[in-house]
Amino acid sequence: MLLEAPESRTNEALELSVSSQRAALGACALGGLFALLTADVSSGAHAVGGLDQAVHVFVREHSSVDQRLYIQTVLSNVPIATGLLMDGAACALLLRRGNGARAVAVSLICYTVGFGALLPLHDDGLLGFVKALIERARPTDIAGSWAYPSGHTSLAAFLWMSAWATLLPRLRVPMSVSVPVLVAVGTGLCRVGADVHWVSDVIAGGCFGTGLALGCEALVQGMQRKHDEL
């Protein structure tokens, strides 16, 4: 058994390295797409502007004010509320078991950098900075709040992707990657269906939140690998 331990540690380190590289590549790819969308939205020649406008007109013509308000105030918030509860419970369990303090700490730091306030949906952090920089008006005006990127979609994507990539695996709780993807897509559809975001807003929000979560996992894995090498 003593002879197998170094080999086992080597294999585990190799697995962590591969996982870290994949997470980092995913974060970089999504970050690049987010940058391209941001440049396009902020430029005069908006490549997806036609799609944005067409979907906006369709939503206005095929839904009532009450329906859009319900989607905005109720359905849009369900993925975030459940994601906060899930991630909070996972963090508490990891801290209680004593083997996930690094993952919890890095996740909280990434959350704070991305979204700022501990209370969600205040347009703080890097998300708020981009919103203030772009200053894009919403399809339906909401006083004091800019459209790009979608905060709801960003936060839902981050919470659920963080659970899949960082928190639940360390609790040995299985989750298919399709779950956070579907949650992010569903949240984006709700924001577009409520007519409070353009399609490009929610695509950018999904890239922002998912990329941030994958970057967080890459950082956790890298720190773990460095620790194991010591």
Of the pLDDT bands very low, low, confident and very high (cuts 50, 70, 90), residue 21 is: confident
The pLDDT of residue 228 is: 62
The pLDDT of residue 187 is: 97
Q: Mean pLDDT in the chain?
A: 87
The pLDDT of residue 142 is: 74
* pLDDT one-digit tens code per residue, 153-187: 999 999 999 999 999 998 999 999 999 999 999 99
Domain count, the chain: 1
Asked whether the predicted pLDDT for residue 11 surpasses 60, the reply is no
The count of other CB atoms within 10 Å of the CB of residue 143 is 4
Asked whether the predicted pLDDT for residue 13 surpasses 60, the reply is no
Answer yes or no: are the C-beta atoms of 215 and 23 closer than 8 Å.
yes
Cα 60 from Cα 153, distance rounded (Å): 21
Q: In terms of Cα–Cα distance, which of 108, 101, 105, 131 is closest to 208?
A: 131
Q: Is residue 2 part of a domain?
A: no
The count of other CB atoms within 10 Å of the CB of residue 10 is 11
For 148, the domain range is 12-229
Q: Is residue 77 part of a domain?
A: yes
Cα 163 from Cα 87, distance rounded (Å): 6
Of the pLDDT bands very low, low, confident and very high (cuts 50, 70, 90), residue 221 is: confident
Cα 109 from Cα 53, distance rounded (Å): 37
Asked whether the predicted pLDDT for residue 9 surpasses 50, the reply is no
Cα 1 from Cα 205, distance rounded (Å): 49
Q: In terms of Cα–Cα distance, which of 98, 91, 97 is closest to 159?
A: 91
Q: Is residue 209 part of a domain?
A: yes
* pLDDT one-digit tens code per residue, 41-73: 988 667 888 899 999 999 999 999 999 999 999
Q: What is the mean pLDDT of residues 21-37?
A: 93
Dihedral sign computed on CA atoms, order 190, 195, 197, 199: positive
Cα 203 from Cα 200, distance rounded (Å): 5
Q: Is residue 219 part of a domain?
A: yes
Q: Is residue 1 part of a domain?
A: no
Q: Tokens standing for 169?
A: 């695996």
Q: Is residue 217 part of a domain?
A: yes
* pLDDT one-digit tens code per residue, 102-118: 899 999 999 999 998 65
Q: Which residues of 104-123 are buried (b: 16+ CB within 10 A; e: fewer)?
A: bebbeebbeebbbeeebbeb
Answer yes or no: are the C-beta atoms of 191 and 152 closer than 8 Å.
yes
Q: Tokens standing for 94?
A: 């990891």
Q: Is residue 222 part of a domain?
A: yes
**Rounded to 5 degrees, what angle do the CA atoms 189, 30, 135 make?**
65
The pLDDT of residue 118 is: 58
Higher-pLDDT residue of 47, 228: 47
Q: Is residue 5 part of a domain?
A: no
Higher-pLDDT residue of 98, 173: 173
